[in-house]
Every structure is written in structure tokens, then in C-alpha cells.
């Protein structure tokens, strides 16, 4: 049993309190960041004369030895030592005595944990950014493999207009790009060094925060010590960005779950990413996609947990903030796992081209293009909308396509219409008619594919 820090307390900490307040069970994953920040802090203390050069060298060497022990699983973690900071400092004192006791000079666990979490989050953002890029590359490759494939596009889960499969894949490339920009915007904002602001008010000791900033590679110094102790904005922003990735992956997973059903029959999911049934021998269940969809709820829940956690906390540090780490770690781990499966699944899936083609004319995907053709001929939009709606109703009564209607049906709408309308109706004709920037027109999609391929080949940063 140990007493709480300092000589203020007469009694040992109650074991139940130790168990209730410990965070080492989850914050031990911050060991590398804690040691890196401690090494920079030790070198700074030597620079300003608060440690001798020999003392700083001894501290640095011992910290590196502790890091090696943790990495090889030889370092003991104990609940009574509470958190990662205390474990490392305790080990340092055990090995160096009073020299080890000097390391905490000019800092607090408040600015220490803020620094550790910023260092960790920077690395986590870079990791997620790379995984998002991998998924974007898989989407571009799928778009190139299926460049000529036409799919029905949907609104309200009802067939709407034809789209190229490449256009579909590019839509998710764009969504993931927004996700990457959110991540790296977050990275820019969090890139401020907290260390050296101490508990809440700074320190009277002659520390050099700028030196530590350079050692740890931060872009700026955090400007307000009160803000540092309470600031978890960067974690909320990071988990929000993760939540958006999770939501985008969930929507994609839902589509492919539907598309893999007999009712849709659009695609074959790879066996390696599906499972069987314990009782029905014919089943091929899209469990990976269902779990990606389901795990998005965890990430959104982690964000809500953080928002509620910080709501109403007074300045500066409060122990409530210990509870932020599990939510952040869980959101990161969950999204990373989903992205690691998304890219290879996209690479392995195959579309059922014949099945898609057999039903492509169902649902009047060319109706809107026909309406726009009438508009180009001078008919007011609402009149054209009504006229095509009546044609669709006739087709439904006759169980035929717009392309199957006889010329007199079109002549009744506008004399001379039948001379050009059969070059407009039909899915292939409708698709070729798209021309607006960002549309699913073949030329537009090809240009977008080239742009994205060049961008990803160059790996243009944000």
C-alpha cells in the first residue's frame, strides 16, 4: 500500500480506492509517449541547470531501459501504482534514487497526460490517415476494373437514374477524402505542446518550453496553462472524425449487404469475408459487413461518452478526465480494424454483371433524361415532368419500357418528338446524355478517375 503523493496524508490509500482510481489497465499503452516526453523534459532540465548533464544522461538511459522492458513484456504493472506516469517514475526512483526524484521538476501529471495524449493522437491520426488512403486506393482500383459497368442509382431505395459503377466508387473516395481532411485539420489544431504549463498556473522555475517543443516536434506552444489542464477538445474532434469514417463505412456496408442478397443479386462477396450458418448449410452470411455496420454504433457511442464527460467541468483539471482514454482508444481501435478489412474486401468483391444487365431496364432509369430532353426542346420543366409521368404510367399498364412505346405516343406529346426520342430513351442513351461537371457521364467519370489516380499515385498530402 502507498500513501497519496506528498506528506500531506497520514494514512495509506484504501485498497478499494486504489482499485477504483487506477488507470494503468488502459493507459499503459501510453508508455512510449510518456517516456519520449520525459526524455525531452530531462534534457531541458539539464539545459536550464535544474539537472546536471550526468543526471540527465542517467535519467535518459534509465528511461530507455524501462521502455525496452515494457516492449519485451518484462516490466511489472501494479494497480497500486495507479497510472503510467507513476509506474515509470517509480521505476526511475527505484533505480536512481534522488536523481530519479528530480525528473518531475517543473511539470505536473496534468500537463504530462495532456502531452502524452497529444503525442499519441498525432500518431493515431497518421495511422488512420494511411488506412483511409489504402481504402481509397482499393476503391479507385475497383472503379477502374468496373469502368464500363452501369448500375441503377437509388433514392429512397427506389430506382432513380443510371450511374456508372466507377461513379459509385468515386463517391466513397470523396467521402473518405473529407474524412482525411477532418483528421488532418484536427492534427493541425492539436499540434501545441502542453508540457511545462504544470498543474494549472505554470511554474516559477526557469524552464525552457521552446526547447521541449523542438525536441518533441510540436508546431507551437500551448499559450494558456489553465486551458491546457482542461482541454480535451482535440480528443473530441478526433473521435468525431473517427465517427464520420465509421458512419461512411456503415453506409457502404449496408449497401453491399443488400446488394449481396438474392433479391438484389448485384455482387458476390468473397468467401474469406463471410461466414456460414450453424444450422442452414446453404447460407453465406456477410458478417464482416454487418459488424462494420454494427461497430459504427460503438464509435458514435464513444463520441457521445466524451461529450457528456466534459460537459460542465470547471477549470482546470478534474479527475473525470481520466475517463477519456478508454473511449478514445476504443474508437481508434474499432475504426482501424474496420478500415483494415474494408480495403481487401473491396479488392476481392466481384459484380454479377449479367444479373445486373438483365434488370437494368427495370424502373425507368431513363425517365429523367427524357424529361430533360423535352426541356431542351422548349417545354417548361413542370409540363415535361407531367408528360413523362403519364408515359411512365402507360408503360406500367402495358408492362413495357419507355423505349418500347410506339412513335404516336411521343407525337401526341409534341409533334416531331419521335424522330429523336429513341436516341434518348434506354439506359445506355440516358447515361451518355449526362454532361454536367461532377455527373456520371462517361467523360466526366473518366476525368475524375484520372484526377484521383494521379493524386493517389503522387500521394498528395493534406
Q: Is 156 a catalytic residue?
A: yes
Count of other CB atoms within 10 angstroms of residue 240: 17
Rounded distance between C-alpha atoms, residue 236 and residue 242, angstroms: 10
78 within 8 A of 24, measured Cβ to Cβ:
yes
Question: CA 215 to CA 45: how far, in whole Å?
Answer: 13
Residue 23: active-site member: no
Q: Is 346 exposed, middle or buried (0-12, 13-18, 19+ CB in 10 A)?
A: buried
- Total residues found in the chain within this entry: 462
Nearest CA among 445, 458, 457, 405 for reference residue 174: 445
How many beta carbons lie within 10 A of that of residue 424, not counting itself? Answer: 20
- Looking only at the bridges linking them, the beta strands covering 192-193 and 220-221 are parallel
The dihedral through the CA atoms of 101, 106, 108, 112 has a sign that is: negative
Cell numbers 486504489 correspond to 18
Which residue among the candidates 2, 85, 230, 277 is catalytic per the annotation? 277
- Catalytic residue among 156, 204, 282, 436, which? 156
Please list, in sequence order, all residues whose beta carbon lies within 8 angstroms of the beta carbon of residue 172, skipping any fewer than 6 positions away. 139, 248, 252
| Residue in 193, 204, 207, 199 with CA at minimum distance from that of residue 229 | 199
Instruction: Copy the grid coordinates of residue 252.
Output: 457502404
Give the catalytic positions in this structure. 156, 277
Amino acid at each position: 500500500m502507498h500513501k497519496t503523493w506528498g506528506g500531506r496524508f497520514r494514512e495509506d490509500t484504501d485498497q478499494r480506492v486504489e482499485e477504483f482510481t487506477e488507470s494503468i489497465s488502459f493507459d499503459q499503452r501510453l508508455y512510449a509517449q510518456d517516456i519520449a516526453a520525459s526524455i525531452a523534459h530531462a534534457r531541458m532540465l539539464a539545459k536550464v541547470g535544474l539537472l546536471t548533464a550526468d543526471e540527465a544522461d542517467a535519467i535518459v538511459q534509465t528511461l530507455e531501459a524501462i521502455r525496452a522492458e515494457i516492449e519485451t513484456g518484462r516490466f511489472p504493472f501494479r494497480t497500486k501504482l495507479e497510472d503510467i506516469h507513476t509506474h515509470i517514475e517509480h521505476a526511475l526512483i527505484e533505480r536512481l534514487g534522488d536523481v530519479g526524484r528530480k525528473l518531475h521538476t517543473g511539470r505536473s501529471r496534468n500537463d504530462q497526460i495532456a502531452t502524452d495524449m497529444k503525442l499519441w493522437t498525432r500518431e493515431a491520426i497518421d495511422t488512420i490517415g494511411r488506412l483511409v488512403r489504402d481504402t481509397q486506393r482499393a476503391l479507385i482500383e475497383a472503379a477502374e476494373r468496373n469502368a464500363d459497368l452501369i448500375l441503377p442509382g437509388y433514392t429512397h431505395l427506389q430506382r432513380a437514374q443510371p450511374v456508372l459503377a466507377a461513379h459509385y466508387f468515386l463517391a466513397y473516395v470523396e467521402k473518405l477524402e473529407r474524412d482525411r481532411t477532418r483528421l488532418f485539420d484536427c492534427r493541425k489544431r492539436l499540434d501545441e505542446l502542453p508540457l511545462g504549463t504544470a498543474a494549472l498556473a505554470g511554474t516559477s522555475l526557469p524552464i525552457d518550453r521552446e526547447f521541449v517543443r523542438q525536441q518533441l516536434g510540436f508546431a507551437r506552444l500551448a499559450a494558456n496553462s489553465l486551458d491546457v489542464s482542461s482541454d480535451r477538445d482535440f480528443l473530441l474532434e478526433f473521435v468525431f472524425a473517427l465517427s464520420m469514417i465509421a458512419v461512411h463505412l456503415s453506409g457502404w456496408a449496408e449497401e453491399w449487404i443488400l446488394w449481396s442478397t438474392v433479391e438484389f443479386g448485384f455482387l458476390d462477396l468473397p468467401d474469406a469475408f463471410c461466414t456460414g450458418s450453424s444450422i442452414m448449410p446453404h447460407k453465406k452470411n456477410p458478417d464482416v459487413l454487418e459488424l462494420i455496420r454494427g461497430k459504427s454504433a460503438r464509435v458514435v457511442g464513444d463520441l457521445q461518452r466524451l461529450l457528456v464527460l466534459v460537459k460542465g467541468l470547471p477549470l482546470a483539471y478534474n479527475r473525470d478526465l481520466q475517463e477519456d482514454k478508454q473511449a478514445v482508444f476504443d474508437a481508434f481501435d474499432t475504426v482501424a480494424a474496420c478500415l483494415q478489412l474494408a480495403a481487401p474486401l473491396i479488392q476481392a468483391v466481384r459484380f454479377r454483371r449479367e444479373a445486373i444487365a438483365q434488370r437494368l431496364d427495370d424502373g425507368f432509369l431513363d425517365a429523367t433524361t427524357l424529361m430533360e430532353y423535352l426541356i431542351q426542346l422548349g417545354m417548361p420543366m413542370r409540363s415535361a415532368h407531367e408528360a413523362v409521368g403519364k408515359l411512365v404510367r402507360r408503360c406500367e399498364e402495358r408492362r413495357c419500357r419507355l423505349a418500347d412505346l410506339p412513335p404516336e405516343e411521343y407525337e401526341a406529346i409534341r409533334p416531331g418528338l419521335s424522330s429523336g426520342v429513341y436516341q434518348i430513351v434506354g439506359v445506355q442513351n440516358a447515361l451518355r446524355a449526362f454532361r454536367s461537371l461532377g455527373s456520371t457521364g462517361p467523360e466526366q467519370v473518366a476525368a475524375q478517375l484520372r484526377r484521383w489516380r494521379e493524386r493517389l499515385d503522387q500521394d498528395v498530402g493534406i
